[in-house]
Homo-oligomer: A and B are copies of this chain.
Amino acid sequence: SGGWVPPAQAPDANSFVARTNTCGELRAAHVGQEVTLCGWIQYQRQGLFLVLRDFQGLTQLVIPQDEWSQVQTDRSAVRHVASEFLRYIGIPLQAHSHVRKLLSNAPVESVVRVTGIVSSRPPGQENAKMPTGDIEVKVETAEVLNFCKKLPFEIKDFIKKSEALRMQYRYLDLRSSQLQHNLRLRSHVVMRMREYLCNHHGFVDVETPTLFKRTPGGAKEFLVPSREVGKFYSLPQSPQQFKQLLMIGGLDRYFQVARCYRDEGSRPDRQPEFTQIDIEMSFVDQAGIQRLIEGLLQYSWPEERGPITTPFPSMTYEEALAAYGTDKPDTRFGMKIVDISDALRRWDVRFVQNVLSYPHGTAKAICIPQGVRYLKNKDVESLKEAAKSQFNQEIVDVICRPDGSLKSLLTKFLGEEQQSELKQVLNMQVDDVVLLAAGDHKRVCSALGSLRLESADLLEAAGVVLRDPTALHFLWVVDFPLFLPKEENPTELESAHHPFTAPHPLDTDLLYSDPAKVRSQHYDLVLNGNEIGGGSIRIHDAEQQRFVLEKVLKEDSEVLSHLLEALEFGAPPHGGIALGLDRLISLIVGSPSIRDVIAFPKSFKGRDLMGNAPEYVTPEELEPYHIHVSWPVAETEAKKN
């Protein structure tokens, strides 16, 4: 052991332990070898056969039926030494009858260690579906290392269990081949990313603190009471400040597989703690970060899902919104949003005319191919209702009849030529359904973007092949606005991403004259309609940063005084990105939930169902932190007094 081992060699899974082989590796070439295996009893048949399982696979064991070993004669010398050794380590050489009894009576999922001889399976009994299906191991000695009591559910992939039960017994669920695969693949991908960043591109893996202080607007940060009365640490949502300070500290290239925290209360498929691949570089521009990430993903992408093509296509935020109604377009299928404002403006359709006269007034549509065949009437109705309830957006549907004529509320306002032009603009075929909306640009786009995805789900549920499940559509979305109007008060601005994002170099002057129009140097990475990363070139000028914080965002910059001061002491230009590791891995393994790629996830209510966290603590445990709980009853009492 020890010493340098060439990296090309496959990992040795049997070093330092009692077994000679895993349950997944024995082949015909091993026939005749004496092996020791450790694992869990997958099943047992009539005291004759047993299937042993470990993380790498299954091996069939033959339970001895005779009284003593038949191989005694030609292996007696070896056996003598072996028996002495076994006695020494506490395993007496066993009569076969004892081994048979032991293995026949051990319940499934008991842990056993067996030693035996690898043998070819009798002709005709090979199992081509099993990687070890050519061999079986004739057991000589066996030891039950731990008996398993009755299970709450069977550890078989085809048995469906409720997720709550799976999470309560997470350690049992972890034995499933799916979770074993997911966690091992995750480890492998992260290791490859580290090789790329550290070994190939000189990045430094730096750990940053998770006990820090509240950031401005950090309402979703967990608090950690300190022993100083009234003072709290905060668990940061990302190492943003630290990564920038590392650049100011001359680290040049930083990365971290960073644990981050976000207290959002109950949110489906979000976790209170999550992991991001956190990266920052000095003297880099937007293109530099993009090429780095493309290389990173290409290098770390698992073979089973590869290869991927670089560079990834790029789209501006405005283009994405206009064509897909979202900043994370799923470009695996068409059904893009089409602008029909010009046509409708020309045709003088009165009620649309009014909408189009507003500053951001627009009319747009999506065309659902063969919608008449695949969508039921109630589907179309529920799409329209969803647009109304979620976006307050009225939708008009248009159907193309078999004779080519259109059926819609709208048709009475349109002549035959106009209907024909509409069909042409939307590339409408017989049996297509068009959903049409008019109103504010952003609202119309968002509503149609949402309907586009819902229609796609409906079409796929009806059997249409729309999105290739093996397709990988990476996309950079760029040129985001730097600021957005605050939802609660649209006359004020807030950062679209965070206050450290640099303005687009062409829009720097606008920052001081019309900040709402400034585009940013933020970029998002999208995969198959999921945001898997985002980053930006940062402001490295103290004056500009102060202007953004104080004049545009009207924030108290005092809480960031350390960062503002740091920018005055020779801050290099810098930028970075963070990839959401949980989501990325779940997309790679094709799992709908990030909980399937996390060893011990929390429920959507933020609870650990296995260990039962969070939990009550005693008042004495709170004392050193100078806090106490405001129990609802106590509150009521307090109000009375």
Q: Quick one: closest B residue to A249, CB to CB?
A: B174
Given contacts A213-B614, A227-B263, contact A90 B283 (CB under 8 A): no
Residues of chain B within 8 A (CB-CB) of A562 are 610-612
Residues of chain B within 8 A (CB-CB) of A246 are 171, 174, 599
Flag if A211 contacts B272 (CB, 8 Å).
Answer: yes
Flag if B614 contacts A572 (CB, 8 Å).
Answer: no
Residues of chain B within 8 A (CB-CB) of A223 are 224-225, 617, 621-622, 625
CA–CA, A146 and B572, complex, Å = 7
Smallest Cβ distance from A141 to chain B, in angstroms? 15
Flag if B1 contacts A295 (CB, 8 Å).
Answer: yes
Flag if B195 contacts A7 (CB, 8 Å).
Answer: yes
Is A606 part of the contact surface with B, judged by Cβ < 8 Å? yes
Smallest Cβ distance from A606 to chain B, in angstroms? 7
User: CB within 8 A of A598: which of B199, B207, B234?
Assistant: B207
User: CB within 8 A of A599: which of B208, B229, B295, B570?
Assistant: B208
Copies of this protein in the complex = 2
CA–CA, A242 and B610, complex, Å = 11
Flag if B149 contacts A602 (CB, 8 Å).
Answer: no
Flag if B18 contacts A617 (CB, 8 Å).
Answer: no
Q: Which of A171, A222, A616, A621 has the most CB of B within 10 A?
A: A171
User: CB within 8 A of A613: which of B4, B173, B234?
Assistant: B234
Is A81 part of the contact surface with B, judged by Cβ < 8 Å? no
CA–CA, A371 and B532, complex, Å = 67
CA–CA, A282 and B40, complex, Å = 12
Residues of chain B within 8 A (CB-CB) of A97 are none
Number of residues from A at the complex interface, CB < 8 A: 150
Flag if A224 contacts B227 (CB, 8 Å).
Answer: no
A569-583 residues with Cβ-Cβ distance < 8 A to B are 569-573
Residues of chain B within 8 A (CB-CB) of A241 are 611
Is A27 part of the contact surface with B, judged by Cβ < 8 Å? no
Is A349 part of the contact surface with B, judged by Cβ < 8 Å? no
CA–CA, A249 and B109, complex, Å = 11
- Which among A286-294, A316-324, A460-468, A480-488 touches the partner chain? A286-294
Smallest Cβ distance from A103 to chain B, in angstroms? 15
Smallest Cβ distance from A538 to chain B, in angstroms? 12
Flag if B13 contacts A569 (CB, 8 Å).
Answer: no
Flag if B171 contacts A1 (CB, 8 Å).
Answer: no
User: CB within 8 A of A281: which of B16, B213, B281?
Assistant: B16
Smallest Cβ distance from A218 to chain B, in angstroms? 9
Flag if B572 contacts A15 (CB, 8 Å).
Answer: no
CA–CA, A175 and B614, complex, Å = 41
Is A183 part of the contact surface with B, judged by Cβ < 8 Å? yes
Residues of chain B within 8 A (CB-CB) of A567 are 146
Smallest Cβ distance from A258 to chain B, in angstroms? 10
Smallest Cβ distance from A415 to chain B, in angstroms? 52
Smallest Cβ distance from A289 to chain B, in angstroms? 7
Interface 1/0s, chain A 3-39, versus B by CB < 8 A? Answer: 1110101011101111100000000000000000010
Given contacts A2-B310, A569-B151, A621-B223, contact A204 B187 (CB under 8 A): yes
A-B contacts, 28 listed (Cβ < 8 Å): A12-B201, A15-B292, A18-B285, A145-B540, A146-B570, A146-B571, A149-B568, A151-B569, A170-B249, A171-B246, A174-B249, A175-B249, A183-B206, A186-B205, A191-B194, A194-B194, A207-B275, A207-B598, A209-B602, A211-B613, A213-B614, A223-B625, A224-B235, A227-B263, A229-B631, A242-B600, A263-B624, A265-B624
